[in-house]
Amino acid sequence: MPKRIIIDTDPGIDDALAFLLALASPEIKLEALTTTQGNVTLETATRNALAILELAQAGGVPVVAGSVVPLVQPLRASAHVHGQSGVGNAKLPDPKNKPVEQHAVDYLIERVLAEPNELSIFPIGPLTNIAMAIRKEPKLAKAVKELVIMGGAVLEHGNVTPQAEFNIYVDPHAAHIVFHSGIPITLIPLDVTHKCLLKPIHINRLLQVNSPITRFIKSAVETCFAHSKSYGGEGCAMHDPLTLATVIAPELLTLKELYVEVDHSSGVSMGKTFGDFLGTTNKPANMKVALQVRGDEFIEVFIQRMESLAKSIPE
């Protein structure tokens, strides 16, 4: 039985690649995309989600718009990484489909409570929608199967401040609520996503398949390559797609049970995620954290899945 997942997202180049990977993976059934502000505004995120699904001929997957601003912090976007459009240099046509006429928070609550312990949520943007759903419906925490979150930097440097990772930094108050919700959590932080790099050589390989999918990937990641060059990086980190490794290639990840806290004060370490490796807090683990990954092998799985998706959608 494929794992039934809802992706909560702010697309975003690597968010888009995560949708494509989910659609290309028989181990996964993508039930819906719920959108949030983050890399881009909510409006742009929702339009991108619809357009990417249409590109992948998956227009039947519902898209539901959620939070417009983080819980406490002002809105921040990341055009320097994802471009103004959120999908780099890719040109997506205006989507034909419309979002579901319901707020993502209500949609998540309704879907999860209708089928307790059946649905997993994969948040790959700021955690605003998930925190709001937890606060609005206390039964949600026991009914959702699990959260697999892309976020945080546990032993790794931050990518938006020296300490903090983008998704957690954008809404640290939401992260605090989610981390203490009691929901089973797997965290996929920068410690592992920085080891999964898509490089120009991979794009050249993908372009051997003539498809709107491969052309989209090429033009989307160009901005990300340029950004990575600006700090001496070697490629585009597959942050969000790596969450799906927990389903399609779990053997590539090493997880550790850990108590993780987030700084939601407004000082220099706002958004920093702290792992209690020595048990100094005496608190039980609140999540499993991925600390190691066989990154090149994950990239190989990713490329193979993209090749087969692209072959199924030829020009």
Residues with catalytic roles: 239
Stretch of 23-31, 44-52, 63-71, 160-168 contacting ligand BDR, by CB under 6 A: 160-168
Buried b (16+ CB within 10 A) or exposed e, 269-282: bbbbbbbbeeeeee
Q: Which of residues 8-27 bind Ca ion (CB under 5 A)?
A: 12, 15
Which is closer to ligand BDR, CB of 48 or CB of 211?
48
Cβ–Cβ under 8 Å, residues 207 and 296: no
| Cβ neighbour number for residue 27 with a 10 Å cutoff | 12
What is the three-class DSSP state of 311? helix
What is the three-class DSSP state of 238? coil
Site string for ligand BDR, 53-92 (x = CB under 6 A): -------------------------x--x-----------
User: Which of residues 171, 240, 263, 307 is near ligand BDR by CB under 6 A?
Assistant: 240
For residue 107, give the amino acid letter: Y
Across the beta sheet with 146-150, the strand order is 63-65, 28-35, 3-9, 120-123, 146-150, 185-188, 287-293, 253-258
What is the three-class DSSP state of 180? coil
Cβ–Cβ under 8 Å, residues 170 and 70: yes
Q: Which of residues 99-128 bind ligand BDR (CB under 6 A)?
A: 124-125
Q: Which stretch of DSSP H or E encloses residue 2?
A: none
Q: Which of residues 162-181 bind ligand BDR (CB under 6 A)?
A: 165-167
For residue 297, the minimal CB distance to ligand BDR (Å) is 21
Binding flag, residue 7, Ca ion (CB under 5 A): no
Binding flag, residue 31, ligand BDR (CB under 6 A): no
Site string for ligand BDR, 199-238 (x = CB under 6 A): ----------------------------------------
Q: What does the binding site for Ca ion look like in residue numbers (CB under 5 A)?
A: 12, 15, 124-125, 240
Q: What does the binding site for ligand BDR look like in residue numbers (CB under 6 A)?
A: 12, 14-15, 39, 78, 81, 124-125, 150, 159, 165-167, 239-240
